[in-house]
Structure 1
Amino acid sequence: MAFPYQFAACAGLKLIIILLTIAVICLIDPRYVTTYISINYQIVLIYIIAALTLLYCIVSLIMYVLMYRSNGEDMSLTNCSLSEIVFSGSGMIGWMIVCGIGANVSRRTLLETGQFFGWIGACSGVIVGMFAGVLAVFTLNLINEKVLNQNRKYTRANPPYA
């Protein structure tokens, strides 16, 4: 059995997400974090979203491998698709918040520190796009597997009575 194309495509997207998340964590300057107390909660929010993203991506990559190795010929990805849709949607929302934080802090700070937060906002926008790709792949899988499949158990809304 071949590795499902959904797993291969999303594994590539999640590797890019992991690399960009590490870049965002590296862009947060420790001197800036300790100097300006007014944005401390925003920095903590960025760290929390980055940590949850890393946890989600690494665990889901491990689960892709475990699901592939444990299932037989007919692998149904319905539950996996539903969980990936929910988690990638929440990841998009979280990184949109980080993108807004980066743009806001970049706009109201000095050039040397605002540049870092501008790059954080740019990386966050790319991460949102990657999460949208994961969401699109598994949504299409769910639509093809459950809605457009001709071999469903109930193809009509009102089955005829005998």
Structure 2
Amino acid sequence: MVLSVETRSTAVVIPPVKPRKLAKVPFVELADGRLQGVVSSGSDVERVYVSSIGAAGHGLSCSTNNNRPCGGLRGSYLCKHLQALLEEAELQYGRERVARYLRIEVDEGTPLLAGLKPHHEPAPAATVFSGFLRHLAYLELPGSAEPIPELHWFPSVSRPAEEG
């Protein structure tokens, strides 16, 4: 008997397409109708930016974790944080998946950035940042072979069990 993903409390993790630089963009996800994540500041190690690009309308949002607007985001111009987020998303999920999620159509050699129809549209940074902090908290749990109840939903790299 093969257990399907639907009958398990864990899901198989899809590894990144290419290795990522976690120090630059420690958190990136395709969720809530946006490409969103946390991007480290290039000038201050204490500061991070919560950046997002809307999937359908390509609304841009970038602010610090204290909700201060990014000085580099101007109307339809992507700041360096949004550019880094898009680049790291391509490494994590692959170009095709990111393009499909954001509904971007570009030729093979053309950067995804060229397919955006961007405009400024503030998004809730607190939700993304709290998700990032929640993921960091899991890293602080001590190693254990015992099940951890609060992680029963967390993706696992294990394969479905097979019975003969």
TM-score w.r.t. the length of structure 1 is 0.26
TM-score w.r.t. the length of structure 2 is 0.26
Greater helix share, 1 or 2? 1
Considering only CA atoms, is the larger Rg found in Structure 1 or Structure 2?
1
Greater strand share, 1 or 2? 2
